[in-house]
Structure 1
Amino acid sequence: MFRRKVEENNDMLDLTKLLGDSIRNKSYISLKDNNKDLENMINSLLKCYYDNSAIIGANSIVEKIINLDAIGSMITTSNSQSDIIQSMVASSEELASTADSVSESIQELSNNSNDTKDKALESAKEVDGIVEFIGDSFKGIKKIKEELNIVGSMVKDIKGVTDIIKQIADQTNLLALNASIEAARAGDQGRGFSVVANEIKALAEYSNESIKTIYENIEALTMNTTEAVKCTDIVVSKLMNGGEKLNLIPSNLHNIVELIESIDEKVSHIASISEEQTATTTVLANELS
């Protein structure tokens, strides 16, 4: 619409210039585009002006020329305004293009924030699984520690029983020694009793050797059990510390997700405003063009 008006204004400017040149050169105009009626009318006015046959007619022509100059000035101003409008159209189109680019960037940012949120939620689920696994491991190790403590208690009981057996073996050995002495005093009559006493003594000595081996095994078992309990205590302590720290991770990840959701809401709001501005700018550009 504005381009058509500019073309019409330019035609008027050309006509004004052509008329001015004809007056200065005292010549007649020749119009294109089959505008013979206009051409004849203007040439008649020019002839009247050249012949000075009518002062009124001349003055009228001068006034018309003056009016044509004024019209030319208005046309020039109109063209200048048209140029400004065309510049506004170009600026509006550029603004619309920029708004589209901003909208695309905002959409990309929104997509990235959604991806980050999904990954954070996925990580939170994985951490929850790890925390659950550590909790189960913690329970299992505590159970092992309880069993080891039971074993340690049983070892102590076995050691107590072994102490009693050793005392009995020592006492039996002492009695066998006394029996051997008495059998020796009895001579031939005590020979059979002496054999029995020697067998009892040998059994007592064997019992002492077995008890010694049992003591060694009990000592080793006690040491191993004690060491195992210490190790389980260390593992339990580390699992507790690790579990407490891991318990903070899901909470932190959920906080991150909430922040991302808040940012996503703001981004969506900005995107909505940007789309409205883009639509408004596009309509304005279409109206101006």
Structure 2
Amino acid sequence: MNLFFIILLKVFPIYINVILGFLSSKYLKVQRESVATLLIYILGPIVVFSATLSVKIDFAVAFLPIFLFIFCSIIAFSALAIFKNHWNDPTGNILAFSAGTGNTGYFGIPLAIIFFPPWLADIYIFTVLASLLYESTTGFYVTAKGNFTVKEALKKMSRLPILYAFILGIALNLAGFEIPEVISSYTAQFKGAYGILGMMMLGMGLMGLKNSEGNFDIKFISITYFLKFIFWPLAILGVIYLDRTIFMLLNEDLYKVLFLFAIVPLAGNTVTLAVLLNAKPEKASLAVFLSTVVSVITIPLFIYLYGGF
């Protein structure tokens, strides 16, 4: 069990950012809407663009985000079809969004930096592009569809710069373009800022909870937690088993990347998009926050059971 407590100690400091977010919103009156806008329209595109250019893309590395984007999208559309009529508000749409992703960026990137060597952490960050692409396309669509028509949702989706940053980054990478070292050292700082502000958003989202009714939706929390903490790890372990025994496309290091992708808590952008689209942000904040608290135990436990990174 020593490994478990070592992992726990490594993970715990990340949660300080949640507390800082709550305090900054409560006492400094920092507006979460402004932070959400910064994350989606400025920091996100820069992180996506620079990460796309920093990785040497081969078949195995390229397979990870492609597979995960498809996998995330299938889960989201399936969840939307099953649960969209279970509530009389956009809760079903938020559930569909959260079912297809996790906090792979705000939470997962700091974890990858802690547990992986730099080259593998870069591959993880590249893989996180699957989540960012999902969140700005499929995820944004299933969320916005609760408040907007199909045409309006697609129109809003087309305005998200993360999508274009990803396409541009891939094109330049394949063309052999490299960011100058002076600029890359600058853009690298945005990875940390993205993780810090993303976790702070969880704390900021708690401000409206005590004065709002109906935020603790046991049905919503039960379904999302089952999908995140049971279905996702088991499904990815199944994928790893099939690849290890049949397909043999990946390697042990990439299996670790896949598994870390699967065990993070609910996505912080569940709150971000809920705020921007006014789709039950307080309910989303509570569910994401509680999943983050639960992950204090689940992440070290999952990594321990996996055998450690």
TM-score range, shorter chain: under 0.3
- TM-score when normalising by structure 2: 0.18
Task: Select the structure of larger CA radius of gyration.
Answer: 1
- TM-score when normalising by structure 1: 0.19
